[in-house]
Structure 1
Amino acid sequence: MTLGGPKKRHRATGPSGSGHLSTIAVIDSSLSDKSVAEVNQTRRRTPNTTGAAGSDSSLSDKSVAEVTQTRRRTPSTTGAAGSDSSLSDKSVAEVTQTRRRTPNTTGAAGSDSSLSDKSVAEVTQARRRIPNTTGAAGSNNIFFNDSSTADVILRLFVDTASSTESSSDSRSVDNSPSTSVYLHSDILRRSNYFSALLSDRWMGHSKLDDSDNLFRLNLSVPPTPGSFQSHLTVLELLYTNDFVNTIDSASAALDLLAVALELLFEDCIRSCITFLEAVPWTEEEEKRVLNLIPLMSEEESNELLARISPLREDLCEEMLEGLIHSAIHNYQNTAYVKAFVAKILKDFSSRESAKRVLEKAFNMSLKKVKESLEEYSSPDFRGDHNETEAIQRLNLHKAMTNGKHLLWLVERMIELRVADAAVKEWSEQAAFTADLQRAFRDDAWRNMPPGLPAFMLRCTCKLANAVAAGTILATRPVRRKLVEDWLPVLVACKDNVAATLPINKSLEETFLRIISTLPMSDAQELLQQCLSFSTRNVEDCPHLVTAFNTWFRRAAQPLNQDHGQMR
């Protein structure tokens, strides 16, 4: 009977009851002296393949004996042909050659003190479950960290000393925490870094172990949390191309991008940048993006820079202008929007930019108020009376609305202490204040709500208070003009429009305080215009009494208390 494999042993029973082998399988267990000598000679020639671990991996005498004994026990597979079933010299050579090709997987490049055996096993096990989709080696049987087919051992070590030496110099990294992975040169060439390292020009710098034909490379890893895992993940992506499932957050994309840029892995770089461009970042992630930008090409960084780099220097001011305009004109619930924009202005880092934006908005609103009031003060009576009256009312409404916006801008400027230009501009409105006085004396105002007068007086009061308190350091001419131009408006408002406005007395007190800062001659002229501040009961206007008493006390000083005596 002929079998397709080794002959089975058949137990036969005889009269003695002892078992014996069937004669169908004729076993030649003899081994010639020449064959034994060849096996021993082969063992002596076998080099040590343990790598840096230094352990002797040669076949021991016991192993040789076991091989020989096994060959003696091996039944013939030739069946009834009766051919010699002894292990040929060629078979012995194949066993020895197979042992030479099998790399030592117990830490050939040094012990792993940063990645546990369990972690390496998990990575390898996960690798076996993920099919190869690259086709770089032309075979689906090539896997990440596969010691049986690898031709490169890559040692990842922690660069604790931040050495400037080449990462491929093993002498500088022998004592660093490390781990080793088994890789394939055909796959590694997807990385331009490894492609150059494995090229003919640099191959001499890589350590080739003649015992197992493996190239041994070293790669430094920054001593930061997760660096080992990020490097292992990028190396595995060389095999799997599974970017979609691997890059699942901005943080993960940044971790992998740093490694991909280091290894010049273009496919991974593009995938990370594409993901980062499409998702929001935290402030910390944005800082990491900025740190990686210099490592990218211009084409790669353009998409990310568009999000974080201004196209023009005045972009912030343009944005603030848009916010102020929207807060003033575009929303019905302006109070909420104005409150939010006020916070933005207060927290803005550049006070000079905020000042320029607010001054521009202030001048525009003031111009609109002045234009509306000029049109009201000089109406065109050539049309229908009713039409003219409607236009007059529209002009007043426009002036009042822009006056409301003007007040909000003044408050923001004072809050940021950038109202110097506004005070100066407000003190140079002789024509505007004259129009206001004429408008307030118009009989038509008596039938209208005092919106515009109230806003104008409140703006004046805010600015005057800032000057009197020293928040705004106005020059003496500015202080004089501020009182000189706006005091008549206050008087006209009290006499004709709204005598009982709460703002009136506050503004009176502020004007008197500013007058007290002026020279005696200026104060004398302006105080005479303040008599309208008096009330029926003298006790109800103590601020006016105090102002005149102060002036008379100063005026009564003896002339000899001058500069000459002080010297």
Structure 2
Amino acid sequence: MEQSKLAEMYAFGDQTMSDVTVCLKNIDGKPEWFPCHSVILKRHSQYFADLLSKGHPSYQSIESNNCIEVHCTQNEYESYVKLLKLLYLPEESVSDSWESVKSVLGVLRASVALQCRAIIQSCILYLEAVPWEEDEEEEIVRLAPSLGPDAQPLLARMQPVDSNATKNVLLSAIHFATTTASSLPPFTDELKTSAQEQVEYMLLEDEDTPLVAVDEEVKSEVSTGLSRMFTKLETVLNMLSSGFDESPEAAEQQLLQSLSDLEWMCNILPKMEMMKEFVSGWAYISDRMLGVIQDDKYSSSLWSVKAKLIEMTGKALDAIGYGSVVLPAPFRLHFLKTWLPYIRKLKPLLDAKSLEDESFPYKMDNDLCQNIEGAITSLVLALPSNDQADILADWMKKIEQLNYPDLTEAFEVWCYRTKTAKRRVMVGLKEAGNPTAKLRAGEATQKVAKEAARNKKVAASEGAKNGICRP
């Protein structure tokens, strides 16, 4: 008999034609009885069909009390009741009864337990066609083994993506995240932010199971995007004066956005071993940038930009000072001499503004100050000794420069190394012409080296206690 005709003959809960009762425990833990019809139960549930077959061991006990007790937890009660009702509907009406993923998952669990194949198929068709929340997806994963081959349409959405397809998505996301076009629709600002966040996620998160490998094609796209960002920054700098005259707030925001995009780049470049490209680009534009920002026209404005420049420079100093980016000494010296006066000048200004107005948001925090100071100290100590001498002498000439950055540690290490170098030269001169000079000079050199290593270890230990890294 067709299901539609059965639906017309039998109705859920109709006691007049009921020949079997299903017992469930409600949400309060109390049993509830539902008048049902064996022809409906056997047609749609293999579980009920087995119990109601005359050859089944349980048939006699069911026949005697006319009741089937179905075990379910209190949380599952509503799902089992809904399932019993669905057994009475025509198949084409079942799919129209679904309301949410959560409710369908509950019915699916009950359908698996009672072996209701048609309802299971309807559940799967619905779930495959709608989006899931994370916890719902986890539940589907747990249910999948009990569904057998029927679970394939659901699992297809959770299979690892082909590596080429993944890389294509990443390349597109990088391209959009580094876009500098100014004529895009307003909604693309949010999309660009999302692209940047997801690029970070794909490249930086889950290092044990990376989503995509960083190959030369990925690096090339990142390098191209970084070049576009620096070009955009240079363009914004060139237009700052005229833009500032029209709208200071808009001009400041545009420049700040360019810097923020580059700051985002600094999050992903170290993981790709490409930080050198940022440092080189930042050094190339530094003189131009400082020449614009330090114009008297902006002496009492652009505070967000001025503070952001210190943060960005701090990232470059960190990379140079601690050796993650290896560059020639003249480059390192020029970079330090370019930015050190700006940092010395701006920090007291930001501190003063913060004292005047507690709500002033651009004061350099302690972590940033310590990181920059430590990076500068390491950078200074890695320069040739004469260059170190020039920097330290200039530092001590003006009292206002002594406070930040504090180069005391670099000064002390320089003094020790200078004296050690002098002693090494004197030992060599005294031993010149002596038949045993070579042997004694070698012993003296070893002694000096051991003493230097011992003192360096002590100095490094003291520096670590003060939160400053020594080279």
Q: Which bracket does the TM-score occupy, shorter chain normalised?
A: 0.5 to 0.7
Q: 1:464 offset after TM fit, Å?
A: 1.8
Runs of 5+ consecutive residues of structure 2 not aligned to the other structure? 239-254, 295-305, 348-370, 424-446, 456-471
Q: Secondary structure of 1:239's match?
A: coil
Residues 3-58 of structure 1 deviation map (CA, whole Å, 9 limit, x = unaligned): xxxxxxxxxxxxxxxxxxxxxxxxxxxxxxxxxxxxxxxxxxxxxxxxxxxxxxxx
For 2:262, which of 386, 400, 407 is the aligned residue? Answer: 407
Change (3 A) 1:331 1:255: farther
Q: Would you say 1:233 and 2:82 are equivalent positions?
A: yes
User: Residue 185 of structure 1 aligns with which residue?
Assistant: 39
Using the size of structure 1 for normalisation, the TM-score is 0.47
In 1, the alpha carbon distance for the partners of 2:12 and 2:226 equals 75
- Write the distance in 2 (CA, Å) between the matches of 1:371 and 1:248: 49
Q: Secondary structure at 1:551's aligned position in 2?
A: helix
Say which of 9, 15, 23 aligns to 1:156. Answer: 23
Work out whether 1:271 is the aligned partner of 2:122: yes
Contact 1:156 1:178 in 2 (8 A): yes
The answer as to 2:117 corresponding to 1:254 is no
Q: Secondary structure at the match of 1:254?
A: helix
How many residue pairs get matched? 362
Question: Is 2:431 the counterpart of 1:563?
Answer: no
More helix by share: 2
Taking the TM superposition and a 5 Å limit, the aligned residue runs for 1:58-73 are none
Q: Secondary structure at the match of 1:218?
A: strand
Structure 1 residues 340 and 517 mapped into 2: Cα distance closer, same or farther (>3 Å)?
farther
Is 1:514 the counterpart of 2:378 in the alignment? yes
1:320–1:357 CA contact under 8 A, matched in 2: no
- Distance apart, 1:329 and its partner CA: 0.9
Cα 1:276–1:259 change in 2 (3 A) is same
* Structure 2 length-normalised TM: 0.54
1:361 CA displacement:
6.4
Letter in 1 for 2:60: K
- C-alpha distance 180-459 of structure 1, shift in aligned 2 (>3 A): closer
Q: Distance in 1 between matches of 2:132 and 2:225?
A: 42
**What residue in structure 2 maps to residue 134 of structure 1?**
3
Q: Structure 2 counterpart of 1:463, which letter?
A: A
**Partners in 1 of 2:101 and 2:228 — Cα distance?**
54
Q: Is the 8 A contact 1:480 1:515 kept in 2?
A: no
Mind listing any 5+ residue stretches in structure 1 that lack a counterpart?
Answer: 1-131, 160-175, 374-392, 469-473
Task: Work out whether 1:421 is the aligned partner of 2:273.
Answer: yes
Alignment of 1:106-145 (within 5 A): 134-135=3-4, 140-145=8-13
How far 1:307 moved relative to its partner? Answer: 3.9
Contact 1:366 1:406 (C-alpha < 8 Å) held by counterparts: no
Give the conservation status (yes or no) of the 8 Å contact 1:433–1:489: no
Is the contact between residue 157 and residue 219 of structure 1 (CA under 8 Å) also seen in structure 2? yes
Letter in 2 for 1:411: C
d(CA) in 2 for partners of 1:304 and 1:267?
17
Task: Give 2:315's aligned residue.
Answer: 462
Is the contact between residue 190 and residue 265 of structure 1 (CA under 8 Å) also seen in structure 2? Answer: yes
Give the aligned CA root-mean-square deviation in angstroms.
5.8
Report if aligned partners of 1:324, 1:341 keep a CA contact under 8 Å in 2.
Answer: yes
CA separation of 1:503/1:363 partners in 2, compared to 1, >3 Å: closer, same or farther?
Answer: farther
User: Following TM superposition, by how much is the alpha carbon of 1:413 offset from its aligned partner in structure 2, in angstroms?
Assistant: 4.1
CA distance in 1: counterparts of 2:216 and 2:450, whole angstroms: 42
Contact 1:155–1:217 (CA<8 Å) still a contact in 2?
yes
Q: SS in structure 2 opposite 1:329?
A: coil
Q: Residues 367-386 of structure 1: matches in 2 within 5 Å? A: none
**Structure 2 residue 188 is the aligned partner of structure 1 residue 327:** no
Q: Aligned ranges for residues 305-344 of structure 1 at < 5 Å?
A: 305-312=155-162, 322-329=172-179, 332=182
Give the aligned partner of residue 415 of structure 2: 552
Larger Cα Rg: Structure 1 or Structure 2?
A: 1
Q: C-alpha deviations, 1:421-462, integer Å up to 9, x for none?
A: 3456778x7xx899x59x98xxxx89x9699xx999986641
Q: Given the alignment, which residue of 324, 334, 345 partners 1:488? A: 334
Deviation at 1:178, TM superposition (A): 6.3
Distance (Å, rounded) in 2 between the aligned partners of 1:339 and 1:516:
37
The answer as to whether partners of 1:155 and 1:181 remain within 8 angstroms in 2 is yes
Matched position secondary structure for 1:412: helix
The residue type equivalent to 1:555 in the other structure is T
